[in-house]
Amino acid sequence: MNTSKRIGLRIRTMRQSRRMTQADLAYAINQSPSSITMYETGRRCPNFETLEALADTFNVPLASIVTNDERLEMNLQLFNEPSAHDQQIRLVVDMMEPMTYEQKQQVVAIVRAFASTCQPDRKG
């Protein structure tokens, strides 16, 4: 079972144990009912903001919904998305404002090298 499906199963179990409908949960976290369906079936993985909203709604720690290993895997998958890749690199560089230009270039090279070696298993 992949990460999205494991997280989706936990979300569905928590929602059902609280006797909430998908519409109830969608309203509580300001999402559409179809988003809840996609999360619960594993067709889509909630972003970290949504995961935090779910944890707050269910009154559980975030680790009850997503493990540290799953968070790491999600980060790696996001980082390897072509559209997010350059944004992530720019964010790292912006956070390193006190560094010299050369130091920033080194950080970019390290991050690119890391991203190219961390290809998550995409089997479903």
Within the chain, all domains assigned CATH 1.10.260.40 are found at: 3-66
Is pLDDT above 50 for 122? no
pTM above 0.85, yes or no: no
The average confidence (pLDDT) of the chain is: 80
Specify the pLDDT at position 86.
63
Query: Helix-strand-coil percent breakdown of the chain, rounded to 5?
Result: 70, 0, 30
What CATH number should be reported for the domain whose range is 3-66?
A: 1.10.260.40
pLDDT in tens, 26-47: 999 999 999 999 999 999 888 8
Nearest CA to 29 out of 14, 17, 43, 42 is that of 14
